[in-house]
Chain A
Amino acid sequence: MLRRLLLTAGLLTGLGASAALAADPGVSKEEIKIGMWSPLTGPTALLGTSERDAVEIAIDEVNAGGGVNGRKLKLIVYDDAGSPQEALAAVRRLIDQDGVFALIAGSTSGSTLPIVPLINRAKIPFVASISSNRKLLDPFSRYIFRAYSNEVAQADRVIEFALKQGVKKPAIVYTSNDYGIGGEEAVTHRFQQAKVSLVARERYNQTDQDFSAQLLRIKQSGADSLFVWAFAAESGIIVRQAREVGLTMPIYGGGGTATPLFPKAAGQAGIGVVAAYVAPELPESSFKPVADYREKLKARYSGNPPPGRPSEYDLAGYGALKIFAEGLKRAGSEPTRESFIAALETLKDFNAGTIFPVTFTATQHEGTDQSAMVRVNDANHWEIVKR
């Protein structure tokens, strides 16, 4: 049986030896290979599948228009099921085995932050559009670009609005995951700048189903406003239980709250909740690029897209690929990774349609710090809060 180990080990080495060592991998005469890894399975599958569909739709569009400088774009996607171990293996396979030219979209922060050292070592460009965590670009990396605003920018927009409405004693409930922790840091930081301190900070674990303990502590703290940094489903439950426990103060949410699911989960209790939103337009708005995308998504799923889609992750993914394509175009007919990075850094207020215009410079790779705001109207639907 140990002889069998011999065989399997031999097979592995044979597999590896075939890695081609071209000058700049992923670029051939007729196509450019792009790599992507994201959660296609597991609890955060909604994010991953939305981004994958959006990037593929955008690529079909670009290829239909003759590709970039005559080269078609080819996407290779791997699932990381939300696990960092899988993400590491997937990205190494993309860089090493499939020899992709550059990476796009990425996964949730939990499975993206561990990849940063790998990206820096491989010197491979990466246009991110899921992870909103500040630490992706702090410390700065010249290979990583972010297509939409990070959690700090999202928090600033909502807090400015709350301060204008006279909030003096805010409290926050947040998940113990990368999104929640990042949100809490951003909210605390921004309030300190405005000389306002949080009266209660309640963290919960994703396996929790009941929030009465946290909400009762907030009720005791005498807070006059409640910030919720959790994904849409949990935000809905928290808001409903808050009303049940007798909290009547205004409630504000982070970017993760603003999806079609929140109003359904919160029910009547959700009306009036204000949340940060990463795109200029809602997925169901009549704004042309968003409406066009909606049609293409319907076509892709032959008539009925999965429930809750398109989501804002669709819009982010579509925008990210458009930015990617624009960068490639500007990198000229013989793109290298370095020329691609330089080209991306020349983008100034580039409008990809479904997301805010992005600007990159040699030292600033956060595409935008703009973020919109939405409020649940009386018809229990999100609507954009005009500036």
Chain B
Amino acid sequence: MILLARGEMPDSPTTASPEVKRPISVNARSLLLLAVLVCAIPFLAGSYVQFVCLLALINIIVTTGVNISMGYCGLVSVGHAGFVAIGAYVTTLLMTYSSLSFAPAMLCGIVAAGIAGVVIGLPALRLSPLYIAMVTFGFGQAVNLILLNWIEVTGGPNGMAVPVPTFFGNDLSNTGIFLMTAVACFGSLWVAFNISRSRLGRAFIAIRESEIAAQSMGVPIALYKTVAFAVSAMFGGLAGSLYALGSGYVNPDAFIFLISIMYVTMCVAGGLGTIAGPVVGAIILTILPELLRPFAEYKEFLSGLILLGFLVLMPRGLVPLLTSWKSRLMPKLARQPAPESV
């Protein structure tokens, strides 16, 4: 498990929060404990809870990716399920039709999604944010239609079964897939955290806030927008390949527009532009439908209301709200000198 250096792991800056936001002093110990606990889930929980947790981890990877392009760089992506689909299908196709084992197949899935991210990013370089939304919207639809109609290769609407991944000969059990997903999820968060604390993250935020200022500080706008798209697409590809392995079956219905909107809802509800925001959003909005399952008639209605409610009432999302409450509720504690930052 990746050990964080001792010291504070403050959230990256939130979007335009007027009042002072103390970084939350979360030391590595509690993070380590969390990691161990997540990895214990497959041994404690039944296959249903394990599958829901797996979905949550996969959604965290996607929302962390969406957060990089949308939360930091301000590039709206309402077609992210397209990247997830590419990751899932490329991995499945390679594992089925070629002798590649799951690891290289996953890698190709991630790279393919990244390439798609760059291609979709191209028009975005010269267009206003609204056009980017349109391009990503069109991209999501196009990927779904291609998967639906390229029957000879993708099996069309019936989809494809994913061959069981083998790890040095013996089959990779559900637990193995779960642990791999957990490692991938923590790895993604680690990379996202590093990006947010590095010049890459600052350049992204600069592009979002004012392209002219960013450019005059030496940030090549076109290149960094493409990087933002590619990175968030690769996160999507990684999540897609893990979804393929985890669920054992892929078909186009799992990557429709509604799913892209759900990813965005998770980011907005959790808190765009923070590290923990998309995580909290992904967990809540993966578990909520499961808890609401018995009265499902209203699920679509409820998820629409949730997105609208957050957008209008809490645009900055849960995490920034809780951090500001926390700093207001416990002024003494929050003011104690945090150890020198990482």
Contacts and interface: CB of A to CB of B under 8 A. Distances in A.
A and B, direct touch (CB closer than 8 Å)? yes
A8 B38 CA distance: 10
Contacts of B46: 16, 19, 96-97
A23 interface: no
Contacts of A93: 48, 290, 293
A133 B251 CA distance: 15
A2 interface: yes
B129 interface: no
B279 interface: yes
A188 interface: no
Given A41-B299, A89-B290, A177 B51 contact: no
A182 B46 CA distance: 35
B46 to A, nearest CB: 4
B41 A9 contact: yes
Main secondary structure of the interface of B (DSSP, over half): helix
B156 A181 contact: yes
29 contacts: A1-B276, A2-B24, A5-B283, A6-B33, A12-B45, A12-B287, A16-B41, A16-B48, A41-B299, A41-B300, A82-B253, A83-B256, A86-B289, A96-B47, A110-B158, A111-B253, A113-B249, A114-B159, A114-B247, A117-B161, A117-B249, A176-B156, A176-B157, A178-B158, A180-B157, A181-B158, A182-B158, A203-B149, A205-B145
A88 interface: yes
B10 to A, nearest CB: 11
Q: Report, as a range, how many residues of chain B touch the other chain.
A: 35 or more
B340 interface: no
Given A89-B55, A110-B251, 10 more contacts: A2-B26, A8-B283, A12-B287, A41-B297, A41-B300, A85-B259, A93-B293, A109-B157, A135-B158, A176-B149
Nearest to A49: B297
Contacts of B280: 1, 4-5
B323 interface: yes
Contacts of B40: 13
Q: Which 10 A-B pairs have the closest CB atoms?
A: A16-B45, A79-B296, A16-B49, A114-B249, A19-B46, A96-B48, A92-B48, A96-B46, A178-B157, A2-B26
B137 to A, nearest CB: 13
Contacts of A8: 283, 287
Nearest to A5: B34
B44 A2 contact: no
A95 B299 contact: no
A81 B158 contact: no
Interface string A91-107: 01101110000000000
Contacts of B247: 84-85, 88, 114
B50 A133 contact: no
Given A81-B299, A83-B253, A133 B31 contact: no
B30 A2 contact: yes
B183 to A, nearest CB: 15
B48 A1 contact: no
Contact of A84 (B47, B151, B254): B254
A386 interface: no
A219 B45 CA distance: 59
Interface in B106-158: 145, 148-149, 151, 156-158
Contact of B51 (A2, A17, A89, A133): A89
A10 interface: yes
